[in-house]
Every structure is written in structure tokens, then in C-alpha cells.
Amino acid sequence: MISVAMCTYNGEAYLSEQLSSIAGQTVPVDELVICDDRSKDNTVEILKSFAANSSFPVYIHVNEENLGSTRNFEKCLSLCSGDIIFLCDQDDKWREDKVERQVAYLNTNPDKDAVFSDALMINDDSVPTGQTIWEEIEFDRTGQNKWKEGKPHEILFNGFVVTGATLAIRKSCLKRLMPFPTHVPDLIHDAWIAMVLSLENKIDFIADTLISYRIHSSQQVGFGSKVEKVHLKDRFSRDRSEKLVPLEEKANKLHEIYLLLRAIPFVPREKLIKLYLSQKHFYRRASLPENRYKRFTPILNQVIRGYYRFSSKDWWLPAIGDLLE
């Protein structure tokens, strides 16, 4: 049985397009479960209209209070009956063979509990931007090969590459994943699912763009907002705290993830070593002395040990930045 878990919140602008793409799959779904997070627009009315004419059951649940994306997806997933559940955003478009491809993968790979894919990025008008999300996050051939070699967790320790909107999972694995943590910044539902399953080597990918992923300014999570790049001249003029605070925040986040994963009985401790070293590296970067001369030895020590690769594949750039700024 195939379920779709869709979470909605003020999604009237693009919702009909997404619903149509689900209805048009080459392999039909068996149910669509929707949890609306108290939308203030016509989202629920659009859902009810679709449900009235749908060839498969549509279950609409309106939350009593606003839960936020992670808790809303947790609720929605728990309400699904299917053996395989597709996570679904309200503003994308599925390729017509998405369900077929991902169900086929899970059927032929019983050792995997989840599979995700790449996605074609589109704008507000559903026009492709010319980029995919894997290109955007630099999940390139090198990263894909590392994943296939059994080290997906090491990739996810450095950055989240699994987009929930492309994810299909087995319902049977949810009991190992819930409840989803909500106290760690950026560790939303899809990142947590991918992180835990990667440590068991139970998640894989299909290297194809099975959805069109919409980029727009009003989306709750995703690639809609960009971090402003720091230019060289700014590094010599900005307050030093502007550099150190994000490093400490990164260290704290990695530390919280480490504690969460270490508490899971089935997670092998040896797979957490690089995560432990990574959070220590960012704490050291965040506590470098004000005096540039006194920074040289601790920075050199981190360079020699290869720890700056936790910061960037171009490891020399943050090292030089730490020395100069």
C-alpha cells in the first residue's frame, strides 16, 4: 500500500498543481493524508474540492494549533497506513513516474528503508531555473560515490543533502525515528530521517530529477533564502564577533546532533567519531585568541590533522580566514 504524507500551510498558490501531479502518477497511490497547519487562505477548500473528485481516498486533518513543519510531518506520517510513504510538499510538481521509480527501487532493495532523488528547480511560474538541487548543494559525483561506498553519514555530518520532498520511506522504520527532535536548529524532519538511516546504511538515492522543486520567497523551509557571501574587504572591517558567533552556533548544533545520535542504541559509536571531531574543530575555531600571532599554532595544528576539511573542501580558505580575520 502506498501513502502520500502532505503537509500544508497557506499553500493555495501552487497546491492544485501539486495535487494534479500526484493524481497523474503512472503507478497510482492508495491514499493521500494531509495535515494542514491552520492555513488562513483557501488551502483547505482546495483540498476538499480535490478530495471530492479523487480516485483515491483523501484524508484531511486540520491541526488544532500550529505545529510547525517538523511536528506537522511527524503527525502526518503517523496517520498514514501505507507500507511505503511519500513525503510531499504543497508547492512542488511530481514527475509522472516518481512513485513508480521509487516503489520499484524499494521493492528490489529490501535492505533499504528509504530512497530520495534529485529535483529540477523551478520558479514561481513553474519555469525551470536551469539548475537541480544537487547542483545547488554540490552533491556531485564525488559525494555520490562516497555515499555508495557506505559513508553517507559522513556526507550528512557536513551538510544535509536529502530533500524531504523527494523522499520515500517504509512505514516500518518510523518507530526507530520518532519522535523527531525539534530543539536543534536546521535539524528538521527530513534531515533527522536521513541522518539516522544513513548510520544504518539504509537510505539510498536515485540519480534522476523525479520532482520539480519550487523556489519562492514564501516557502517555510528549503532553498528559498540565501546566506549573504562575506567579501574579503568585509573580513577586515567587520566586528570579530560576526565571524565567531556563527562558528559557535555551528559547533553547538553539531554537539546537539552528536548527543542525540549517541543516545540511540543501534547507532555504531565508531561512525560518530568524525562528528565528534567536527564539533570539536568548530569549537576550537570559535575560541581562537584575538592576537593573530597566538592563533598560528592552534590553526597549524588543525591544518596538520586535516580537521579544516570539516569546514570546507577548500580547507585552506577558512584556515587563512581564521589567521587573518
The CATH number that applies at residue 190 is 3.90.550.10
Indicate if 117 and 152 belong to the same structural domain.
yes
Domain contains 225: no
- The mean pLDDT of 293-312, rounded to a whole number, is 95
Indicate if 25 and 174 belong to the same structural domain.
yes
Whether the pLDDT of residue 133 is over 70: the answer is yes
> 39, 11 in Cβ contact below 8 A?
yes
In sequence order, the 6+-apart residues with CB closer than 8 A to the CB of 261 are: 195, 196, 199, 267, 272, 275
Whether the pLDDT of residue 225 is over 50: the answer is no
- Distance in angstroms (rounded) separating the CA atoms of residues 108 and 112: 9
Whether the model clears a pTM of 0.85, i.e. scores above it, the answer is yes
Q: Are strands 31-36 and 58-62 parallel, antiparallel or unpaired?
A: parallel
- The mean pLDDT of 198-205, rounded to a whole number, is 97
Instruction: Quickly tell me which residue has 589567521 as its cell.
Output: 323
**Which of 188, 214, 240 corresponds to the end of one domain?**
214
Q: How many domains does the chain have?
A: 2
**Which of 214, 245, 261 corresponds to the end of one domain?**
214
Domain contains 227: no
pLDDT tens, position by position, 24-57: 999 999 999 999 999 999 999 999 999 999 999 9
- Distance in angstroms (rounded) separating the CA atoms of residues 54 and 203: 31
- Distance in angstroms (rounded) separating the CA atoms of residues 139 and 133: 8
Domain contains 54: yes
Indicate if 187 and 110 belong to the same structural domain.
yes
Indicate if 292 and 237 belong to the same structural domain.
yes
- The mean pLDDT of 167-175, rounded to a whole number, is 97
Q: What is the pLDDT of residue 129?
A: 95
Indicate if 239 and 186 belong to the same structural domain.
no
Q: What average pLDDT does the chain have?
A: 93
Domain contains 224: no
Domain contains 251: yes
User: Euclidean distance between the first and final Cα of the chain, in Å?
Assistant: 56
| One-letter amino acid of 211 | I
| pLDDT top residue among 138 and 86 | 86
pLDDT tens, position by position, 56-113: 999 999 999 999 999 999 999 999 999 999 999 999 999 999 999 999 999 999 999 9
- The mean pLDDT of 305-321, rounded to a whole number, is 93
Indicate if 247 and 190 belong to the same structural domain.
no
Domain contains 94: yes
Indicate if 56 and 157 belong to the same structural domain.
yes
The boundaries of the domain holding residue 260 are 232-324
Domain contains 114: yes
Indicate if 258 and 206 belong to the same structural domain.
no
Whether the pLDDT of residue 260 is over 60: the answer is yes
**Which of 214, 245, 273 corresponds to the end of one domain?**
214
Q: What is the pLDDT of residue 219?
A: 54
- Distance in angstroms (rounded) separating the CA atoms of residues 194 and 163: 9
pLDDT tens, position by position, 282-292: 999 999 999 99
Q: Are strands 2-8 and 31-36 parallel, antiparallel or unpaired?
A: parallel
| One-letter amino acid of 102 | Q
Indicate if 279 and 153 belong to the same structural domain.
no
Mean pLDDT is lowest, of 97-101, 125-129, 166-170, for 125-129
Domain contains 222: no
Indicate if 267 and 196 belong to the same structural domain.
no
Indicate if 46 and 106 belong to the same structural domain.
yes
